[in-house]
Amino acid sequence: MSVRKLALVTGSTSGIGLAIADVFAANGIEVILHGIESTEDGQAIAARFEHSYGQRPHYFQCDISQPEAIEQMMQCIGQEVGAPSILVNNAGIQFTAPVQEFPAGTWDKIIAINLSAAFHTTRLALPAMVAAGWGRIINISSVHGLVASVHKAAYCAAKHGLVGFTRVTALETAAQGITANCICPGWTDTPLLVDQLTQFAAEHNTSFDEAKKGLINAKAPYPEFVAPSEIGELALFLCSDAARAMTGTALPIDGGWTAH
């Protein structure tokens, strides 16, 4: 029995999520887009997909920090598009501060979006995957799901938690044709990193290009950012038959960061 490859990618209006959606669509996987942008903005992105790949994805606006909103979104997806057989939990936010100065409300929001949302989408997507006997869950963690950096308490806690959650999901579903894996990017060329680079340049009184080099060399021997499309290609591989025995993994794509 063939399974419809239909992928929900959260946070897919920019950065890594958009790159994953692009790679999927280019390789014949149906895509469901998600973001917090307006419906008009989401539809503009969907129109580009139609022009480039011949498919017009549905776009769902949802604040995934709210479990009730996630439930409503997943219900609408099931009714309007169909049950996703591929789930990519990519949406995330970042904030940096020392632990003693970290705002409690910001901690709660980072945990909600970067970790708890993946639990809610997964628990709601799994029944259809189990019924079909096939599914792929790909959680975009981070190198900070494997190692820590100062001033990133909430982000590291969420991303470490995502790795643990993925491993438990993998153990529970391995005999049902479902895999669950984490991708753990290092420095990646996304809008999220621009703010960090701008701050780094200001703090060190240097140019943007020098800041980029300094930021990379502080952690990883590979001298360039990871391209978001490379993360998309890794996600595509995890959806292939060649990866059907790969489950419960946390795969770094980090320029050697975690090789230290």
Count other C-beta atoms under 10 Å from residue 113's C-beta: 21
Q: What are the sequence ranges of the domains in the chain?
A: 6-188+231-254, 190-224
Q: pLDDT tens digit string along 87-107?
A: 999 999 999 999 999 999 999
Is the confidence at residue 5, as pLDDT, over 80?
yes
Q: pLDDT tens digit string along 31-83?
A: 999 999 999 999 999 999 999 999 999 999 999 999 999 999 999 999 999 99
Residue 242 banded pLDDT, cuts 50, 70, 90? very high
Contacts of residue 260, defined as CB under 8 A and 6 or more positions apart, other chains included, come to none
**201 or 7: which carries more pLDDT confidence?**
7
SS3 199: helix
Q: What is the largest CA-CA distance in the chain?
A: 60
Q: pLDDT tens digit string along 121-157?
A: 999 999 999 999 999 999 999 999 999 999 999 999 9
Q: pLDDT tens digit string along 178-235?
A: 999 999 999 998 877 877 788 878 888 889 888 888 888 889 999 899 999 999 999 9
Is the confidence at residue 250, as pLDDT, over 80?
yes
Token digits for 221? Answer: 């021997």
CA distance 255 to 49: 30
pLDDT given at position 1: 59
Is the confidence at residue 174, as pLDDT, over 80?
yes
- 3-class SS letters over 126-173: HHHHHHHCCEEEEEECCHHHCCCCCCEHHHHHHHHHHHHHHHHHHHHH
pLDDT given at position 199: 80
What superfamily in CATH does domain 6-188+231-254 come from?
A: NAD(P)-binding Rossmann-like Domain (3.40.50.720)
pLDDT given at position 209: 86
Phi then psi for residue 192, to 5 deg, are: -60, -30
DSSP letter (8 states) at residue 259: G
pLDDT given at position 167: 98
Q: What percent of the chain has pLDDT over 90?
A: 87
**237 or 196: which carries more pLDDT confidence?**
237
pLDDT given at position 211: 84
Catalytic residue positions, numbered: 155
